[in-house]
Each structure stands twice: as structure tokens, then as C-alpha cells.
Amino acid sequence: MEKTGAIDNYNARIKRVVITKEEIAEAIAKAGKEIDKLYDGRPILLVSILKGAFVFMADLCRAVSVPCEIGFMCAKSYYNGTVSTGVVKITMDLEQDISGYHVVIVEDIIDTGRTLNDVVKMLKQRNPLSLSVFTLLDKPSRRLVDFNADYALFTIPDFFVIGYGLDCGEIYRNLPYIAEYEENK
């Protein structure tokens, strides 16, 4: 996608709001309580998968009351388009030794499942005390591997979404809501 064309049609490519900022805030508060209940005061390491999950991570870490540290990984299979390449590449790894942590992976969206499947396998080999996955969005109709999150805030049908950290060609991450992306404008 050419940047100039995308920027010129910025608002026209926002087809419709799918999940409002209020709905997101309510779901995150509920997820924070679920994490508090699951870990019952035990410290956790929240691991954000960059770039898409950074907004979700920021809000989720403020919604939990258990002691938490944060870490970041960058794993990608989308490179400027709206279709996964099928090749998962870890471009930034955790700096922490996770063997003494209850790890909660914070993801923006699970689509084919390949990225998270690979990340979870890799992190399990590092012997965390426990490992769970909390995803903002789940798109099970697109799953190509047998993978499910432990907790999904929203399940959506098969269309490309932007906003609240999710992008198309690196833009739209700043939208405070989740919107359907209009590819044909």
C-alpha cells in the first residue's frame, strides 16, 4: 500500500466502528479482574507482542492489581498488507529470564494462530512458572493451527480491523476504537 494514497484516503478507509472505546475499556477492566483472580497476588510478567498490542498492554497493566513487570517481544507475519505471509519472524526477544515468572502474553489479535503458536512454544521451552495468553481480538474463522487464547476480550468475524494499536501499513494504530478497514477505496 502506498503511504500517500493511504493517508489521502485515511478517513474513507474507516468502513465502520466495530468496537467502541467504551466497550474496550469495559472489557479490559473485566480482564484485569480475571488476571487478579487467576494470580491471586502472585507477581506476573506481562509480555506484549509488538507493535500491535502496545496500546492494549498499557491499559491492561493499569487494570491489574497484582504486582507485575512488563516485557516486550516483536513477532510478525504481516509486513504492510492485509494478509499474513505465513512466516513468523521474531525481531525482538525478551531480555528477562522468565523461569521465575507467571507469564501472561498480551496480544492484539489472533488470526491464523501461527504467530502465537510459535511464540508460546518458544516461551514454554524457557520454563515459566505458568503461561497464559490474553488477546484483545480473536478471529477463529481464520485459524490455520490448533491454537486458542486462554482469554479473548472480543471474538470477531473475518474482516480486516484497524485501531487501538492495530494497523494497516503502520497507520491507524492511534484510533481509540476498533474499526473495519475498507480495502477498496
The alpha carbon of residue 153 and the mean position of all alpha carbons in its chain are separated, in whole angstroms, by: 11
DSSP assignments along 86-117, one per residue: S--EEEE---S-GGGSEEEEEEEEESSSHHHH
Q: Give residue 138's identity as a one-letter amino acid code.
A: D
Instruction: Find the catalytic residue in 36, 93, 108, 111.
Output: 111
Residue whose C-alpha cell is 502465537: 116
Name the residue with cell 489472533: 110
Q: Is 93 a catalytic residue?
A: no
Show the beta-strand stretches assigned E in the chain. 14-19, 44-50, 68-76, 89-92, 102-110, 130-138, 151-155, 161-162, 178-181
What does the alpha-carbon distance between residue 149 and residue 138 come to, in Å, rounded to a whole number?
A: 8
Are the beta carbons of 14 and 80 closer than 8 angstroms?
no
Catalytically active residues are 111
